[in-house]
Chain A
Amino acid sequence: MTTLPASTDKKLGLVIDLDICVGCHACVISCKEWNTSNYGAPLSDMDAYGENPVGTFLNRVHTFEVKSAGCNAQTVHFPKSCLHCEDAPCVTVCPTGASYKRSEDGIVLVNESDCIGCGLCAWACPYGAREMDAAEGVMKKCTLCVDRIYNENIPEIDREPSCVRTCPAKARHFGDFADPDSNVSVMTRERGGMELMPELMTKPVNRYLPPRPKADISGEIDILAPLLTPVPENKGGFMGWLDKALEAI
């Protein structure tokens, strides 16, 4: 079963909107917090108060700067967790079958009791979505909060990933990409949701919505922009306008 299911009933995943992500790291810590005390081994922090703290996180936010010649540069905050690829190379390399993709919803998971901690799946993942927990020696990754999204002990409205529920900017959306009418499918269609590194043919399920064009980036002022026209002098200039306008009140 380390082989991939031919197809999955659902394709659950996330849409991440780079146009509104402010880079607050809320999703990072919420993810850590949920996942350290729920499914699987805790996410440890080595040398937690020391010189070189290193902890396991399943979601991290990078910050990039994009610039083209002669234009203002722009800053883009970029959260990244497992993309739950359809052709997940991390699954097929796994020698133990610990890594697998669920046939019902496409979630890629690690069965920690089978994981030998060889690290191969992390090598195979282009996106850096897997981290070996230094304390437990097992591979950790985003579970798409599989223990939340179906959990009947959680109110229905909260049956979504921890990171999605917490995102203050609503930059993260959870849904089923197999359903063309789902929120995530619609957003992907309308906003040109991107695949990361499509050339590697992993077919990531998660999509990224690109930042919308910025009005200052081109460096030029749109000459068609409605500039303010001063009150004409022949109409009495400012005082003339004022008088008329007061009259109209």
Chain B
Amino acid sequence: MTVHQPVVDTNAKVSDEIRKTTCYMCACRCGINVHMQDGKVKYIEGNRDHPVNKGVLCAKGSAGIMQHYSPARLKSPMKRVGERGSGEFEEISWDEAFDIAVGWLKPVREENPEKLAFFTGRDQSQSMTSWWAQSYGTPNYAAHGGFCSVNMAAAGIYTMGGAFWEFGAPDWDRTKLFMIFGVAEDHDSNPIKTGLSKVKANGGKIIGVNPIRSGYNAIADEWVGITPGTDGLFILSMIHELLKAGKVDLDYLQRYTNLPYLVNTVEGSADNGLFLRDAEDKPQVLDRATGKPVAFDKPGVKADMAKGYEVDGVTYRPAFLLLAEKYLDDQYAPEMVADRTGISAERIKKIAAQLAHTAFEEEITIDQPWTDWKGEKHTKMIGRPVAFHAMRGISAHSNGFQTCRALHVLQILLGSVECPGGFRFKPPYPKPVSAHPKPHMGVTKGGPLNGPHLGFVRGPEDLLLKDDGTPARIDKAFTWDNPMSSHGLMHMVISNAHAGDPYKIDVLFMYMANMSWNSSMNTTGVMDMLTDKDENGEYVIPKIIYSDAYSSEMVAFADLILPDTTYLERHDCISLLDRPISEAEAVADSIRWPVVEPDRDVRGFQTALIQLGVRLGLPGMVNEDGSAIYEDYADYIQNHERRPGVGPLAGFRGEDKQGKGRGAPNPNQIQDYIDNGGFWTDHIPEDALFFKPWNAAYQDWAVERGIFDSIQPYLFDVYSEVVQKFRLAAQGHGQHQPPEHLREQLDTVMDPLPIWYEPFEETLVDKNEYPIHALTQRPMAMYHSWGTQNAWLRQIHGTNPMYVSGEIWAEHGFAEGDWAWVTSTHGKIKVPVVRMDALNGKTIWTWNAIGKRKGAWALDEKAPEANKGFLLNHLIHELLPAKGDGMRWANSDPITGQAAWFDLRVKIERADAGDGVSQPNHPAQKSPVGQGPKDISYGEDF
């Protein structure tokens, strides 16, 4: 029978034009090809040439169209006309908006710059916003890193001069054993997925350590369903096993780490735990040949890590011996930690054995000669193909800094950092602590701050304390409460400002952070603080300026709204000065540019910020005559110079456009980026590809590219002297002394070698009453709160059940369709439950940030997100329950201030489903943008 088929046009035209820019449906920064037809966005696909995503896109990336056309987009500047929180606004012009802002900010700057708190959220322009804040002169600036993952970042930088994610990545192509701790999705969304796929394709093995077996852990070849908060123990126990068997890379440790440094071991001395240094202040190692101490960097020296050294009655021992003694102790034996971690001793031993086997028996070599920083030549590059990755699962605990340190120490002991098959840095990393600024607090009325706000303290003398010992910053960053809080503590800003502790502020200026909702702990409390009035009927936090692109929950709590564009409508730069898109093999940065012009009265926030700066006459933004130096952000991106020849974008610099990293500003730089696909990249030479911190070729190349002005080789701080300095202070040494109530805690946690201690909340709540751990995970197809306005994504995650382990499910006799009350010491929520067996028995969890407040995001008030969906945040408080002495301590890591989201302990009880509405359920706020249309058929026009 002949078959008559209709003719299908298999050659239909796809689009008129492709515009290449950078996605911003999340912070991963993938390159996208935006197909345009009739001037409209038709289809978005990944850019195959792009270093980050190499053509692939995630669900959010593809849903960008719907975000771009979202009904929740803000349309124009607005000023509040109703009560705070009500959502009543009046649209105003940009001129009026600037007038209001200048009216508030100018007097503050002249009288008391610290009364402005400027905090930014999930943006990618921190080098610009911090520059603005510095120029304004307030000490109160940070981005959201403090509640996000500063433990991971700080532990990485303090230990090995770089951290995971944007600062480094596993050598996906070569690694044979990959272990991933506490990751649901991470920022490096697409590269991790592609990487996992590569590891599998190459026959490598993946071990997932996570209480929950979903996503990456679902595809792991082995799942370790660890008890939350105990990774430190698990890791240290593996270190115990490796040391016991002599399975550590001594050559590597001796060459590339500070483990040979001689440490003062005299208990009680003011120098206890500090390194022996020579007159030039260089740490000393014991020369194995001569038995004499020599400077660590003396060429040709083989350091002895087995012997101590005594001089003037002081015994010094190599840090390696301290480390070995510490971890060989029986308290770290697998049998001792099995119960607590929920991992059997056999499994711990087996995994440690696999690490050793892969690192040492499956060693790989690349025939590539290279020269190290001491001038020694190596004929090949030796790789230990074990790689780790970790994120908030280990960092968002109050013991997170030390746990993250432990993980890095394990990596380093295996010799698998910056070697083939191991973990590798991405330029501008590696970068030692010494190359980072220290934090600054020097305020001058009407003038700029004396230096960058954030940085890395080297000891107690760098804390930001006023002369009276009170915190200089509103978030109390860099104080004895959390001395090494390199990213600030955005999660404490609202509650501190409300409490007037350490002082009151006048203007709260926030950008791209939904602080009244999912990015706060104690959400209801925060909403109350934002709307609270004093005895005179004035708001306790007097003025709030906020920039969002969409009608989020936070909008309703601002007095003045500066509406941003969508990511397809503005300029941005993903800069080497900030968090670029480099790969381990190449330096790279990129831009966004308006592939479509906004159809509303909105402005890119950075442009608005520059224009505001000009009106305030901020240094660096205005010429002598008061005229603007930069018209807008695009102008700034192309013409701003941080150091001579070094600006926001590294590519196509100079008049000839050949400048890489260095060169005069190029007035056409953005167009050159556009012509190049929206990014720029430059490959690292072959002999500089590995061992970067110690590789002379890399160091030279980094200087050429403007990453450093002089070479910065360094050794890994496995033993952290910085941390020890705080401990010494806690023990009463030195002129900078902590308050009494913090001494004991500091003495315990400030261990120069990683330790594990019980997460704080667990030590304070009755574990019998609150036996369960409650966690959140990021859904891959949703970005915090901002995916909910997306008609496609909200169909995937419009509600979030509480997943309950099979064990708890059975214990409470739950049945399908049931609801439960989940209670912490702080609050109570009513939620739908679903059973999950592939889950640590003592754990429950839900997707993060799905629950929404009624009236937000241009959704119908009956939207499932606002009725069935819920936030776990109602159960988490920014302060811990009161201790014996009646004091409430921050629910944070005591070293970095990282918010301890995952320390939460709860109990669960069956609840009457009732009306099927989750509790608490807040009343609606008025939508300033109306409500989205009923039915849509996107694509109709094409």
**A164 CA to B197 CA, complexed, in Å:** 14
Closest Cβ of chain B: how far from A2's Cβ, in Å? 10
Contact across chains for A216 and B214 when beta carbons are under 8 A apart: no
**A104 CA to B451 CA, complexed, in Å:** 69
Contact of A38 among B12, B215, B838, B937 (CB under 8 A): B12
Scoring A47, A212, A229 by chain B CB atoms within 10 A of each residue's CB, the highest score goes to: A47
Closest Cβ of chain B: how far from A85's Cβ, in Å? 17
A74 at the interface (CB under 8 A from B): yes
Enumerate chain B residues within 8 angstroms of A178, measured Cβ to Cβ: none
A26 at the interface (CB under 8 A from B): yes
Apart from A32-B792, A146-B8: 10 A-B pairs, beta carbons within 8 A: A22-B196, A26-B62, A49-B860, A51-B864, A73-B837, A103-B5, A153-B14, A166-B55, A228-B352, A228-B356
Contact of B59 among A29, A67, A158, A227 (CB under 8 A): A29
Contact across chains for B795 and A45 when beta carbons are under 8 A apart: yes
Tell me the residues in window 11-38 of chain A with beta carbons closer than 8 Å to chain B beta carbons. Answer: 19-26, 28-30, 32-34, 36-38
Which candidate, B301-309, B393-401, B475-483, B644-652, is the interface stretch facing chain A?
Answer: B301-309
B730 at the interface (CB under 8 A from A): no
Contact across chains for B939 and A153 when beta carbons are under 8 A apart: no
Which candidate, A121-129, A168-176, A194-202, is the interface stretch facing chain B?
Answer: A168-176
A46 at the interface (CB under 8 A from B): yes
Contact across chains for A230 and B244 when beta carbons are under 8 A apart: yes
Contact across chains for A227 and B353 when beta carbons are under 8 A apart: yes
Contact of B942 among A37, A77, A231 (CB under 8 A): A37
The range of chain B's interface size is 35 or more
Closest Cβ of chain A: how far from B555's Cβ, in Å? 17
Contact across chains for A246 and B346 when beta carbons are under 8 A apart: no
Contact of A214 among B58, B221, B344, B792 (CB under 8 A): B221
A210 at the interface (CB under 8 A from B): no
Contact across chains for A228 and B349 when beta carbons are under 8 A apart: yes
Q: A53-B794, A228-B241 are in contact. Are A30 and B246 (CB under 8 A)?
A: no
Contact of B780 among A22, A134, A229 (CB under 8 A): A22
Contact across chains for B5 and A100 when beta carbons are under 8 A apart: yes
Contact across chains for A135 and B200 when beta carbons are under 8 A apart: no
B630 at the interface (CB under 8 A from A): no
Q: List 22 A-B contacts (CB under 8 A).
A: A1-B5, A25-B59, A26-B56, A30-B62, A36-B939, A39-B8, A47-B935, A48-B932, A48-B933, A48-B936, A49-B71, A51-B862, A51-B864, A74-B218, A75-B213, A136-B937, A147-B8, A165-B45, A228-B242, A238-B328, A246-B288, A249-B302
Contact across chains for B939 and A243 when beta carbons are under 8 A apart: no
Tell me the residues in window 175-232 of chain A with beta carbons closer than 8 Å to chain B beta carbons. Answer: 211-212, 214-216, 221-222, 225-231
Of all A-B residue pairs in the complex, the 10 with the closest CB atoms, nearest first, are A49-B932, A37-B939, A36-B939, A73-B837, A168-B193, A215-B222, A42-B939, A51-B862, A75-B218, A228-B245
Q: A20-B200, A152-B11 are in contact. Are A227 and B863 (CB under 8 A)?
A: no
**A47 CA to B243 CA, complexed, in Å:** 61
Contact across chains for B216 and A22 when beta carbons are under 8 A apart: yes
B793 at the interface (CB under 8 A from A): yes
Contact of A166 among B1, B56, B197, B288 (CB under 8 A): B56
Enumerate chain B residues within 8 angstroms of A41, measured Cβ to Cβ: 937
Closest Cβ of chain B: how far from A246's Cβ, in Å? 6
Contact across chains for A22 and B353 when beta carbons are under 8 A apart: no
**A80 CA to B197 CA, complexed, in Å:** 20
Contact across chains for B12 and A153 when beta carbons are under 8 A apart: yes
Contact string, A130-145, partner B, CB cutoff 8 A, digits 1/0? 0000111000000000
Closest Cβ of chain A: how far from B45's Cβ, in Å? 7
Q: Which residue of A lies closest to B307 (CB)?
A: A243
**A230 CA to B241 CA, complexed, in Å:** 8
Contact across chains for A1 and B4 when beta carbons are under 8 A apart: yes
B219 at the interface (CB under 8 A from A): yes
Contact across chains for B838 and A25 when beta carbons are under 8 A apart: no
Enumerate chain B residues within 8 angstroms of A45, measured Cβ to Cβ: 791-792, 795, 935-938
Scoring A25, A57, A103, A158 by chain B CB atoms within 10 A of each residue's CB, the highest score goes to: A25
Contact across chains for A150 and B11 when beta carbons are under 8 A apart: yes
Which residues of B are at the interface with A, using a C-beta cutoff of 8 A? Answer: 1, 3-6, 8-14, 42-46, 48, 53, 55-63, 65, 71, 189-190, 193-194, 196-197, 200-201, 205, 213-225, 241-247, 250-251, 254, 288, 302, 304-306, 324, 328, 344, 346-347, 349-350, 352-354, 356-357, 780-781, 789, 791-796, 798, 806, 836-838, 858-860, 862-864, 931-942
Contact of A39 among B1, B12, B63, B65 (CB under 8 A): B12
Q: A28-B796, A48-B935 are in contact. Are A249 and B251 (CB under 8 A)?
A: yes
Enumerate chain A residues within 8 angstroms of B65, measured Cβ to Cβ: 33
Contact of A19 among B57, B200, B243, B932 (CB under 8 A): B200
Contact across chains for B43 and A34 when beta carbons are under 8 A apart: yes
Enumerate chain A residues within 8 angstroms of B858, measured Cβ to Cβ: 49
Q: Which residue of A lies closest to B37 (CB)?
A: A37
Enumerate chain A residues within 8 angstroms of B246, measured Cβ to Cβ: 231, 238, 241-242, 245
Q: Which residue of A lies closest to B302 (CB)?
A: A249
Contact of A230 among B194, B217, B245 (CB under 8 A): B245
Enumerate chain A residues within 8 angstroms of B3, measured Cβ to Cβ: 1, 3, 5, 100, 103
Contact across chains for B838 and A65 when beta carbons are under 8 A apart: yes
Contact of B1 among A3, A30, A72, A215 (CB under 8 A): A3
**A238 CA to B354 CA, complexed, in Å:** 20
Enumerate chain A residues within 8 angstroms of B224, measured Cβ to Cβ: 216
Contact across chains for B58 and A24 when beta carbons are under 8 A apart: yes
Contact across chains for B59 and A28 when beta carbons are under 8 A apart: yes
Q: A30-B57, A228-B356, A249-B254 are in contact. Are A36 and B350 (CB under 8 A)?
A: no
Closest Cβ of chain B: how far from A42's Cβ, in Å? 4
Enumerate chain A residues within 8 angstroms of B937, measured Cβ to Cβ: 36, 41-45, 135-136
Scoring B219, B357, B780 by chain A CB atoms within 10 A of each residue's CB, the highest score goes to: B219
